[in-house]
Amino acid sequence: MSAARDSETLEIDGREVRVSHPDKVVFPEPGLTKLDLIRYYLAVADGALRGAGDRPMVLKRFVKGIDNEAFFQKRAPEKRPDWIDTATLHYARGTSAEEVVVRDAAALAWVVNLGCIDLNPHPVRAADLDHPDELRVDLDPMPGVEWAQLVDVAFVVRDVLADHGLTGWPKTSGSRGIHLLVRLEPRWEFPDVRLAAETIAREVATRAPELATARWWKEQRGERVFVDFNQNAKDRTVASAYSVRPRPDARVSTPLGWDELRLRRPEEFTVATVLERFAELGDPMVGIDEAAGRLDSLLALAADLGPAERDERELPVVEIARAETKDEALAGFERWKARHTDVVEHLRPADVLVDGMRGSSSLWYRVRVNLEHVPEGDRPEQEPLEVDYDPWKGRAPGA
């Protein structure tokens, strides 16, 4: 057996990119190494740059492998090649971050070498950080929702967009959901874009109330698709087109044509299959940059609708665990279920609320249970948490 190489240098469009530990296995199931992952991104660079290029991005680094939580690095590493561009984003809370801007295939390879498995750009271009040129509709299926229902909602979104002069470009999220990307003329600031996205969500929920919801509180959504409009807030990012997701099968967030959406399944799209697909078909999102639209019509509808009504009902929700990892949180939930077997038989899939919560630089996990479908007299009281992790412990205020 030959010894693992310490590094390999790639020449990409006249630039040298050093790949550290190129033989390190990143995805054990398909046997993909770090160098394999970089070569994948180079092969689909045209599509990946269409989604993430020229945009500041958060570096989501899996330095301990896909089975461990990533940490989120907003600020560009101080030690970087002089050809890596950056842009400084300013936030309402008074903080700022100088973030990496990927502009070419060499920069793609460089960020992947840092441990970035997927790409997480902001919806603005580096040349204009205050006016998004992309509205993102994130269709998030609640537990119990099948793919067919998710696709039905995507087509309702397409109709709403078309009614307001906009075009949606679909892609799998690389997990369970669907993303619809909408190019915009960069005229509107973040609050207007978020309001437009919320208006889309409300209109979709009105047209298909049994299928979709715009309810902010997770416990109120039921077995429906949540049209997540908050992905358009200034500090939010989503995995862009052709991003490899940290799942065992090396699944890819893959652009699709509307005619494919009902016929294909997200698990079909992995690094291996997308390499073949891209070589054969190219990128279905070719043309997205020429389809920039305006928000006037949606914002007029938002004014007509007025502020969204908030459902203030207090649902019987108990918290089970707060944990550093998802496995720890779910293990706590299993212990709770073992003590409350009479309760579990009344629970529906959407009653179990598992949330990935953004901490200062990584995710932590919370498990809650909605007892709405449990007979009132059988509902357990809030108990001490099975796992009680404090993601802010040891951090100074504002750190």
Q: How many degrees, rounded to 5, is the angle at CA 138 between CA 194 and CA 74?
A: 70
87 lies in some domain: no
Structure tokens at 242: 């052709």
Would you state the pLDDT for residue 397? Answer: 45
**122 inside domain:** no
Q: Give the total number of structural domains in the chain.
A: 1
Q: What contacts 196, CB < 8 A, 6 or more positions away?
A: 135, 188, 232, 295, 298, 299, 302
**What tokens appear for 142 in the block?**
């609640």
Instruction: Give the Cβ contact number of residue 103 at 10 Å.
Output: 17
138 is a domain residue = no
Query: Is 344 within a domain?
Result: yes
Residue 352 is assigned to a structural domain of this protein: yes
277: in domain: no
**Enclosing domain of residue 358:** 317-388
pLDDT in tens, 127-175: 999 999 999 999 999 989 999 999 999 999 999 999 999 999 999 999 8
pLDDT tens-digit readout, 336-378: 999 999 999 998 888 888 888 776 666 788 898 989 889 988 8
Question: Is residue 109 a contact partner of residue 150, using CB atoms and an 8 Å limit?
Answer: no
| Domain-located, residue 19 | no
Question: Does 369 reside within a domain?
Answer: yes
pTM: 0.85
